[in-house]
Each structure stands twice: as C-alpha cells, then as structure tokens.
Amino acid sequence: MSSTTAGAPPVAAAPRVETPFRRFVSEFAESRLALFGLVVFAVIVLVAVLAPWIAPQDPYDLAQLDIMDGRLEPGSVGGSGITHWLGTDDQGRDMLSGILYGLRISLTVGAGSAILACVVGASLGMLAAYAGGRTDSLIMRLVDLQLSFPAILAALMILAFLGKGILNVVIALVVVEWAYYARTVRGTALVERRREYIEAAQCLALPTRRIIFRHLLPNCLPPLIVVGTMQVARAIALEATLSFLGLGVPITEPSLGLLIANGYEYMLSGKYWISFYPGIALLVTIVSINLVGDQLRDVLNPRLKK
Amino acid sequence: MTVFLLRRLLQAAAVVLVMSLLVFLGVYAIGDPVEILISPEADQIERERAIKALGLDLPLWQQYLVFLGNALRGDLGRSFVFNEPALRLILDRMPATLELAVGATILALLIGLPLGLYAGLRPHSPVSKGILAGSILGFSLPTFWVGLMLIMVFAVQLGWLPSTGRGETVTVLGMRWSFLTRDGLAHMIMPMVNLSLFKISLIIRLTRAGVRETMLMDYVKFARAKGLSPARITLVHVFKNILIPVVTVVGLEFGGTIAFSVVTESVFAWPGMGKLIIDSINVLDRPVMVAYLMVIVLMFITINLVVDITYSVLDPRVRLEGK
Amino acid sequence: MPPTLEVRNLRTHFFTRAGVVKAVDDVSFAVDRGKVLGLVGESGSGKSVTGFSILGLVDPPGRIAGGSILFQGQDLAGLSEEEMRRLRGNRIAMIFQDPMMTLNPVLRIDTQMIETVLAHAKVSREEARQRARDALGQVGIPSPEERLRAYPHQFSGGMRQRVAIAIALLHKPDLIVADEPTTALDVTIQGQILAEAQKLCAESGTALIWITHDLSVVAGLADDIAVMYAGKVVEEGPVTQVLDAPLHPYTVGLIGSVPSRNHRGEPLRQIPGMTPSLLNLPAGCAFRARCPRAEARCAEPPPMAEYRPGRFARCIHPYEEAAAA
C-alpha cells in the first residue's frame, strides 16, 4: 500500500517491472464482465461527447423540429427525410438525438457532482482525521445525520428551497453525497496516520500540508476511487429521478430522466418508445458503471487479497 | 433494559430537537419566511397582520421557541392549497404510504430471503449466479423507469392490472386501507413490486453474504458433527444468525422505503404522503413541506428505536450488555 | 472383534484451482475400544483433515479420494450422507479446537443440547432435557439446570469446552475425535479435561482420537501415537516407545523442540526450515529438505516399514537407538 509514498527506489533499468499500477490493471482485467462494462461506459462517454457531430438532429434547434413529425414510431422516416430509428417525441424531436444530448447532461451532472462532493467530502474527512477531538466528532455527527436521512428526500427538500436548474441539482447531489467520501477518507486517514512512516514524516518536521497531500491523501485514493465510481452511478440515477419528478433539470436542458418523464403521458396510449429508449440508455449507463465499480472494489480492497 | 431504553429515548429527543432546528432554519432563515409562510395572494394589510400574528417581528431565537411550542401542540401550520392543518393532511395520507411500504417490505423478505439463502448455500450453481446478476440489475434499475415499464406491460399491453390510484378502500380504525379489498389489492400489486425491487436486491445480497460467512463458522460444522439434519442447520443455526443483520438493515431501510415511495407514488398516482409532498413542492405549499419533514424525522427516530430494541431481542449478546 | 476404527490408506485431497492439495495422503492407523490414539503433527500436517474425513465433514473442493475408514468393521466411505448423519454425534462424536467458536452464539445451551438428543433418539423433550442436564453434570458443570438456560457467551472458554464435551457424550459414542480440544484453554483446565477424558475412555470403552501438536499432552494421555508430516503418517507405535526411542528424524526433531526442565539453560533445538506447501509436493520424502540425515535415496518415496515389533516408520534410515535425548 505504501509503495506510492515511500519513495520507491529507482528501478529504471528493469523491463516489465510489476508496478502496483500494472498489477492493478491485470487484476481488473481478470473479470470479463467488468472489462465489458468499462468498454460500454467508454463508448457511452464517447458518443455523449461527440453528440453534436453524430446525432442525426440538433434537438434544441427548433428550426429542425417539425410538429408534424410528432410521435412517430421507431424506424419511420420524418418529413425532413431523416430516419427516426428510435421514433420521435410529441414535438417531433428525434429520440436518438435527444438521448445522445440527454446523456451529455446526465453524465455531466453525475460526474460533476461526484467530483465536487469528493473534494468537499475528502477535505472534511481529512480535517476530521487530522484535527481529531471536537472538530472530528462534529463532522462525524454531521456525516451520521446525513447518511441516516434518505438521499432522495434530502435532495428533494434542497431543490424545493433552491428551485430547478442544473447547478441546483449539482448542489443537492453534493449535499447528499459528500458524507460517503468524508467517512471513507477519515477512516483510511486514521489508519494511515498511525503508521510509522507518518510518524517519521512528523519527526522530520515536514509541514502538515506536505504530510497530508504527499503522504495521507495518496493512500486514501483506492477507497475513494471505489466510492467515487459507485457514487457517479448513484448521482446519475438520482438526477434522473429528480428530473422525472419535475424538480431536477429545466425543460430546456432535458436529461435522460426528463425525457422519460416527457413520455409518461403517452405511455398509456401505447406509445412506449418515448420513455422506453431513454430508460434503456440510463440503465446501460448505470449498469456499466456499477460493473466497473464492483470489480474495482474487489481489486482495490486489501481485505479480499489472499 | 430500562436504562438502555431511557438513554435511547433521550438520544431520540435530542435528534428531534436538532432536526427541528434544521427544518426551522431551512424554512425561516433561508429564503424569505413571509414569502414561505404567507400565501402569495395575500395583500399588504393581510401580510402585516400575518407577520405580527406569526411573530415574525420577534428575534430569531424567540421565533424558534414559538415554532417549537406550536410543533409540540401538533400545530405545524395550515396548507395554502387545502386550507387545512398541514399535519392532518399528512396523517390522512399516511395509511396509503404505510400499507405500500409494509407490503413492499414483506414482499421483499418473502422473495429476497429464500433467493439469498439459496445463492449462499450453493454459491457456484448457475441459478445462484443468475440470482446474483439479477440483484445487481435490481440495484441499477432506476425505480421510476421500472414503474413505467410495469404500467406499459401489465396495464397497457396486457391489461391485467389497473395502472393508477388506490382502488376501492375500506375504513378500519378510522383509516382507509386498500389491501383489504380485491380491487384495492389489485391496485397495490404494481406499486408494491416497484417499491420492493431495490429491497429484494439488498436482502438477496445481505442474506447471501451472511449465509456464506456463517456456513464457514465452526459452530455450523459442529452442528453437522452433532448429526443434525441439513434442514435444521440451515433453518435454525444459519438462519437465526443471518436474521440479525437482515432485520437491522430491513428495519433501517423502512424509513428509506417510505422516503422512496415518493417516486413510486408519483409514477402510480398513489395518493399517499409521497405524492402529497411532490404536489406540495410543485405548488410551494411550504407548511405541508415542513409538516412532512417533521413527521418523517419522527418516523425515522421511531424506526431506529424499534430496530435497536428488536436487535437486542434477537442477539443475546447485545441484550445482556444493555442490562 | 475388529478395532473400533481402522483407517486404511486414506487419501483426502483438495481440488483447488491452483492444483491438487493432498492434505491427507495414504494414512493408516487403528484404535481399539477404550484406547487413546494421539495424532500428532504441526499445523498443516493434515491431522485435522483426517479427523474431519472420519466424520465425513470434508467440504468441497476437498473430498476423500481413496482408502477406507472402517468403523466397527463397516466402511464409512460407502455410506450415504443420511446414513453418515445418523452416525455423527451418535456413535461417532467430535470435539473441536476453539470452544469460543463451536457453540452457536444466538442459541441457548439447552436448545443446542436438546436438538442433539432429538436428532438420534425418539424421546420426549422433557426426557431430552433431562439427558442434557445429566451430561452437563457429568462434565462437572455446577447447577446444570440453571446453566441450560444460558447463552454460550455467559460461559468461560473452559466451561464452553465442557459443554461441547457434554454434547459429544450425550449418546455415549463408541468413538470420539477430539481436535486439539485443550489448545485454547489454560494449563490448569487443560489438565482437568485430560484427566476426565482418560477416565471416560477407561470406564465406557469409548475409543478416542486425540489430535494435537503438543507432544506433552499425548505423553500423559495416549496409548498409541501416530506422527503426521505433510499429509502422511511418518511414525507410529506405542506412545512410550516412540517418545523414548523415536525412529523418524522428524519425530526426533519434534521431541527435541519441546522445552523441558532437563535442558534448562541450553538453547532450544528447532527443526530448520518450514513445513512444505502441500500444493504440488514433489515425490520422495517430504521431510528431506529439513532432515539432517537426508541423502540422494530420499528422493524416492520411502515405504512405511516395521523396524521393531509394533514400531512403524516411513524412513529409509531411521535412528536405530535413542537419539532424541
């Protein structure tokens, strides 16, 4: 574990050294399913990034929409000559394009909130571990309180007070997620703090900042990565749920959740595709992240090592 | 046991106090309390009178005490929309949510425990791998989307089940229940399945992990060395041990189920607390939001307390330490 | 009359992904009525797996790959799981190593005892309870009626082991396999339990296999001794003869590393090296890497041979006279 920090001796000459990273990669690749998840997720990210170039239509450009094309079945050809492989919604918007653009928003919100929550949570967790005493117990009480309260409710309330909007959704997600990171970092940091190398660093009178960033934080990284991966999936699901309930992203920036919500009323008349395909996209995204996360947890968890 | 109970009750009271402060600050300090508590349609004179009546001209700590005093008397304000006491509105809707949440929990236990037990006892069989894969899917599926798909398949395509509402209800103990009528039960099935999906996955995983861990214990091997039948070993020796973590998690999750019924109730237009709170948020009916929050907090604390007590009954080691 | 238990060429192998682990590889021994056999070896020598094999409690990926286990003349390897279950806890009982782990923490002592009675005897609950109470009294637990209603965590380690022994005795078995039952206990309690075990065998005619790594325990308790190393019995014979004049270099080393009063002030002798991994063990004598007398011929598997009447060893160049002293 400490090889990343202990200042590994220079082994430049030896080819194919078993570095911790290489071992990590080969262990991760042991699970075909996880590898598959990783590839699927990479493809999803790629198409989301490239959406403006590969989508058949710009779903935000009202000039390209034709209300006459509304609610077309999958595979039908619209008035503009585009084949709508996944059908159209009530506005005549191509569902495939809508999904590609929706993925961008879902992924941005998910990843953005996870990164922000990680920064906030990790800092507070580190502060708790390092300061100890009352600061520690105050922060941990907050963590307990946060974790005992269902995320969906906390997020709903925050959005109720703040109102809709991508930024507000991100804030709500950060508020409900920071505690996981804080708990993880504090737990790991408390263990690492007692190790000899930290004591040695303290004896050398290294500045606290250096000890935290160069010594403690790198060791908290593996559990943080595991928690982070799982939280991205959770954030994406939560954002979709909030948007479905009408409290998430605004209509002008439809995420997958909002697309699904838009199809709700047409569902009862048998026009399934408006809700169905965005749901599949959401499902595949979440499952692929969870598959990767599951394997990461197994590989990075030293307790499971035999 | 009495000391243990008393200590837990005191802790619970402290948490309620803290939460009431948080809710108070959330509603009164963030945003304009006048805007929050007084109907936007009120004119200037009404507003001033209301500000005086509500004591909004007092310092914040005094306002908190007033809020607390009212809350203790069960007065959490009146709904703007329904013009009814907010608390009563919530309590009216509570049976609908409770029957859904309890039904989902029972369903989850009925499905999750046997499947988890099987997967734990035969970890390498293909069926167990299928069960495990299913539970991963159950974790990943967005609840609301599954709900929509259920409606699409069973209500729209097959026409087997009604898609929305509570159906016919019966009044028992002054509350309306759906699960006592055929029609009500038919309405309950889909929301119940939807709400239990996540819990089934959770229980499968917990049970499976618990069984695998317990099967390795010396006392299971000793039980086999005693010549007990496999059924007795599984159902008494293993099961009683895994029941402890399962009961704890299921109990603690019950609060989460009630919270999450917000989503299920919205999908199936089930008129419970969850649907009410979403509607209230959409029309900014803040007294209802406050009342809902306080009720939920109280429920959570009660659930925690009940779980702790059940836990101590199930696990003799805890029971004695508490004495 | 056949011996109570006769194990012939037993092989218990574990078929793991990394390869076959031959935990027990060609082990033979016999125990007569009322006799005590000490099965001695370091951890990992296969002595516990031998014990579990006798009771049919080897879990996958392990299984009995060969040999026979004759209990009162009947081969246990040929029995169905249900027939085996009817013997376990009834005619053949087992006592485990760690008394803190053998009793189920969430069940009361009476539950755990009564279920054992009812598993093998058609008696009323009250009768079963009576038997449980008597068994507790027999192993020296004071106020058994009251203790029946207690949970395991309310007992000390020594008391728990007594409860486990009482459970083993419930059906007056013909054979008890005791897997290091005193290792986790205090020395004084260890002494008491040993004395009781000896008395029991002499009185009831129960055959006892006492698995241990502690030669001093065996010295005072057993009639015969079988020393195991790397899944094989390397030496076997009457306990006093083996301890006084060991044949196998491993037995010599084992005896030499027991601290004793006679060697006070001298550095303790120890066997160099480590127990080999049982995975893909090379052919030949498994002890040769650590053996002071090893030679080229040791690369051939040594046969079990009778060097003196009743004295067997698996070594091509045994110590012919007392070498351990």
Which helix (H) or strand (E) element contains residue B150? helix B143-150
- For residue A281 the two structure tokens come to 């996209």
Contacts of A276 in chain B (CB under 8 A): 149, 152
Please name the member of B225, B316, B320 whose beta carbon is closest to the beta carbon of C94: B225
**Neighbors of chain C by Cβ distance (3+ pairs < 8 Å):** B
| Percent of chain A scoring above 70 in pLDDT | 86
Rounded Cα–Cα distance for residues A272 and A178 (Å): 37
For domain A30-52+94-301, the question of CATH label 1.10.3720.10 is answered with yes
A283 and B142: CB-CB below 8 Å?
A: yes
Rounded Cα–Cα distance for residues A156 and A172 (Å): 8
Q: Which residues contact B35 (CB under 8 A, 6 or more apart)?
A: none
| Annotated domain spans of chain A | 30-52+94-301
**Neighbors of chain B by Cβ distance (3+ pairs < 8 Å):** A, C
What pLDDT shows up at residue B101?
Answer: 92
Q: Which residue has the higher pLDDT, B89 or C270?
A: B89
CB atoms within 10 A of CB A194: 8
- Average pLDDT of span C285-310: 81
Rounded Cα–Cα distance for residues C190 and B278 (Å): 68
Binned at pLDDT 50, 70 and 90, residue B110 comes out as very high
The C-alpha of B268 sits at a distance from chain A's nearest C-alpha, in angstroms, of 11
Write out the residue limits of the CATH 3.40.50.300 domain(s) in chain C.
5-91+174-185+205-259+270-324
Alpha-carbon distances, residue B22 vs A154, B10, B291 (angstroms): 12, 19, 13
Please name the member of B140, B277, B281 whose beta carbon is closest to the beta carbon of A283: B140
Binned at pLDDT 50, 70 and 90, residue A17 comes out as low
The helix/strand/coil state of B173 is coil
Q: Which residues contact C133 (CB under 8 A, 6 or more apart)?
A: C144, C145, C148
Rounded Cα–Cα distance for residues C207 and C174 (Å): 6
A157 and B26: CB-CB below 8 Å?
A: yes
A36 touches chain B (CB under 8 A): no
Lowest mean pLDDT among A56-70, A148-162, B75-89: A56-70
CB atoms within 10 A of CB C45: 27
Rounded Cα–Cα distance for residues A304 and A30 (Å): 15
Residue with the two structure tokens 């005191």 = B10
Q: Which residues contact B301 (CB under 8 A, 6 or more apart)?
A: B12, B15, B16
Binned at pLDDT 50, 70 and 90, residue B5 comes out as confident
Cis omega (within 30 of 0) on the bond before B123?
no
| Residue of C236, C238, C253 whose CA lies nearest to C294 | C253
Instruction: Quote the ipTM score.
Output: 0.85
pLDDT in tens, A39-97: 999 998 998 888 788 777 777 776 666 666 666 677 667 666 677 677 777 776 778 88
Residue with the two structure tokens 């016999």 = C30
What pLDDT shows up at residue A306?
Answer: 35
pLDDT in tens, A209-248: 777 777 777 777 888 888 888 889 989 989 989 888 888 8
- Contact, C154 vs C124, CB < 8 A? no
| Residue of C236, C208, C217, C219 whose CA lies nearest to C34 | C208
Binned at pLDDT 50, 70 and 90, residue B28 comes out as low
CA atoms within 13 Å, Cβ hemisphere of B15: 23
- For residue A89 the two structure tokens come to 């919604």
Per-residue pLDDT at B241 exceeds 90: no
- For residue B312 the two structure tokens come to 């101590």
Fold for the domain defined by B86-283: MetI-like fold (1.10.3720)
The answer to whether the predicted template modeling score (pTM) of the entire model surpasses 0.80 is no
Lowest mean pLDDT among A66-80, B67-81, C28-42: A66-80
| Residue of C109, C193, C93 whose CA lies nearest to C155 | C109
| Residue of B300, B302, B299, B297 whose CA lies nearest to B22 | B297
Rounded Cα–Cα distance for residues B262 and B273 (Å): 8
| Burial category of B247 from C-beta neighbours within 10 Å (exposed 0-12, middle 13-18, buried 19 and up) | middle
- For residue C10 the two structure tokens come to 């037993």
C102 and B218: CB-CB below 8 Å?
A: yes
Which helix (H) or strand (E) element contains residue C30? strand C19-31
pLDDT in tens, C184-220: 777 777 888 788 778 878 888 888 899 988 888 888 8
Binned at pLDDT 50, 70 and 90, residue A11 comes out as very low
What pLDDT shows up at residue C323?
Answer: 46
Per-residue pLDDT at C324 exceeds 50: no
Rounded Cα–Cα distance for residues B242 and B239 (Å): 5
A295 touches chain B (CB under 8 A): no
- For residue A207 the two structure tokens come to 């500045």
Q: What helix, strand, coil percent values describe chain C, rounded to 5?
A: 35, 25, 40
Per-residue pLDDT at B285 exceeds 90: no
pLDDT in tens, C230-246: 888 888 888 888 888 88
pLDDT in tens, A144-153: 878 877 888 8
- For residue B273 the two structure tokens come to 């607390």
Phi-psi region of A40 (alpha: psi -120 to 50; beta: other; left: phi over 0): alpha
- Find the farthest-apart pair of alpha carbons in chain B and give their distance in angstroms, rounded: 85
| Residue of A33, A149, C26 whose CA lies nearest to B129 | A33
| Residue of C1, C31, C94, C6 whose CA lies nearest to C223 | C31
The C-alpha of C115 sits at a distance from chain B's nearest C-alpha, in angstroms, of 7
Binned at pLDDT 50, 70 and 90, residue C183 comes out as confident
For domain C5-91+174-185+205-259+270-324, the question of CATH label 3.40.50.300 is answered with yes
- Average per-residue pLDDT for chain A: 79
Q: How far is CA A20 from the centre of its chain?
A: 25
